[in-house]
Every structure is written in C-alpha cells, then in structure tokens.
Structure 1
C-alpha cells in the first residue's frame, strides 16, 4: 500500500520476504532441473534479511541517517585532532619554558660575572691610582693647590671631580677645618675626626692621610666618589 509516495515499512518488509520466497522457489526449480538433490541455498534468506534491515528505515530518512553517521565520524575525528593539538601545544609550552629558564639562568650568571668584573676593575683602578700617604713629604703646612695635587694623584681620574665637589662643600679644601658645633674635622668633616687614624696617626696634620681615608670611606660606603656625590646632592650629607 502507498502512503504519500512512501512505501510503508510493512509493505517493504512484505515485499522483501516475497522476493526472497520467489528466489528460493526459483532456486529449487533450477536445482530440480539440473538434477541437484541438495538443500536450497541460504543466500535467499540472507538477501531477505539484509533487505528487511534496509527497509526498516523509511526511504526519506535514509539520507538523514547517513548524514548523521558522517557527522558523528567527523565529530570524533575533530575531538581526536583537538586532543592531539592540545598535547602538542602543552609539549611546546613545556619545552619553551625550559628554554626560558635556561636563558634566564645564563643571563643572571652573566650579569653576576660582569658585576664582579666591574667591581674588581674598580678596586684595581683604585689601588693603582692611590698613592700611599707616606710617599708625600711631610710639611708644616700645605696650600690648597698642593692638597688638590695630592688628591688628583690618589683618586682615579674619572672620580676626581665628584671627589672634589664633596671636599669643596665639606671644608673648601681646608685640612684643618673644624665644625664649631659638632667637632667634625678635616677635609671630609669626619665625625669624630679621630676615625681617620685608621689610615695614619698624623690625620690631624697630613692632608694625604685624610685624602686616603676619605677615598676609602666613599668606596666602601657608596661604591665610588661619584656615587657618594650623588647621595650628597640628594641629602646634603654623605
């Protein structure tokens, strides 16, 4: 029976069974005609079964079923591809993180090495440029020009101007300068002045001794006379 141009599942199933029966009958007649005494083949039954399975799906919906099946396959493939891509991305990120860590470590080691080399170079330059106070002849008094000449031979050339700026502001190059209120003494207004005895007992009368102490103080506390001068400019003391 036809319903809206569609063969019903019952009609299709009946048609398939009828067809299978017809094939079976033909096979039997053919067997008799050929003298075969065997049993009828099961091919017809298999054909009928397959036809019935296909016929279970209405004709108009077979394309939809096939499309749904293909969609499921595509979705499964897409999920698998996403999982693979995620795994690859995680592995790439892990490798990049490891590379970055190694690069940072190398950069830190390089920076530390360069800082150490700069410090050693600065200390070497300071040692080579600094004359011992005992190399200067002792005098009863010294002029400003003589004291500045001493300082220029003891302080590294690149640091001298900063060194001079501090002395200008602290004592105007007067190695006997005394602060009336605090008692600070000498070129650098050391407080107390006796702390300069660490480099020489003649700290009260020898500007070379004071210069040596002042340079050591700036290097040890600030790193250099110029760094000490930067601090002085910001705070007006050092």
Structure 2
C-alpha cells in the first residue's frame, strides 16, 4: 500500500500559479513536492494578519501553540499538534526546534523577538530529526531572513501607531560591497505599548518595550561557496 503524505500551505502570491518554495528538506523545493506537513508563510501574509512575533502564529496554524509559564526568556514552551516539552525548568530543551537562518536556538525564548525583514517562515509538523537533528521530535519552526542583495541597493521603512500609545518602527537597508560578490544588510525594529491591565494600585502590566537590531555580511565568491555572518 503506498504511503500517504499530508501537505498544507498558505498561498502568499496573488497569482495561484506561483509555486511556494520552502527549505523544509534543507534544499529549495516546491512545497507540493516534499513529503512533509508544512505551513509556509511569506512576510506579506504576516503583515496583513498583524502577526509581529511567533506568539501569534496560532492564528494561521492552529496546531502551533506557544506559552510562557514564567517569563518569556525562561519557561517558554512550544507545542505542535499538542506535543511539546512542558515545565519552566531552564534545563529542559524544547522538543520543537527553533531555527533562525539554519542555526539552532537552544531555548525558544530566543525567537520571541519581532519578525522583521523575513524571507519566509515555515512550521514543520511531526518528527524532523532526520534532517534537523535532535530536539525536533514534535516539529520545527524554521525562520529565514532576507539575505543582503549583492547587485543593488534596497531598503524599506514603515511606522504604525495604535491604542494604548502603541508605536512601531521598522527599517532596513541592503548595500552591495562588491557587486555580485559581497553585501551587507542592516535591519531593526522598535516596538512600544502601554500596559492594558492595571492593578488597583495603578501599576500597569502586559506592556511592551523592546527593540531588535540585525546585521549581516554575505559573501558569495562563486556558485559553490557562500559565507553568511
């Protein structure tokens, strides 16, 4: 009896004819050609749905769940399909692996920063140990940021304001150092919001005040060698 594989993906292009390229198998392939249950999301879809960090990903992938039992840096646990490591012991390693640009993050709290300047975000459901190693027995979250552009200067900037004095600023620029050989990219974000819960003593909670800055150097001397710092 032939094996049956489950695949799901959220279309991110206006045209339904465009293939959705993912790297769930550690190589660029069409999502329809890989034997994995994958939810692939482009940054445009994240922006349209107001998803600014991974804590809100459940709105596009109901099988994805993240909780912070103590603080965001300690005690954060991720579950996929209801399976994951529980408890706030900092010695526990998550059974849902978090990878940013292919680098494993030993604690899920590392990935709680704002999702900015992304190329793609993938949620892989089910055991992924064959390709991603240990600590992926329940699944993996694979975040890929945009690489520096080696041929031309490009940039972006946006700002938003909302209730509770919410302010969000995002900006980035990519500059080639040596055309088609090396380039640098700098991107950052700042997010601030007053707390929406207030105690009888007037102390606010659930406020937000954080920033993120990312710098990259990408060198590609030929088609077979690439260095990304």
Which has more radius of gyration? Answer: 1
Q: TM-score range by the shorter chain?
A: under 0.3
TM-score of the pair, normalised by structure 2? 0.23
Higher helix residue share: 1
With the length of structure 1 as denominator, give the TM-score of the two structures: 0.22
Larger proportion of strand: 2
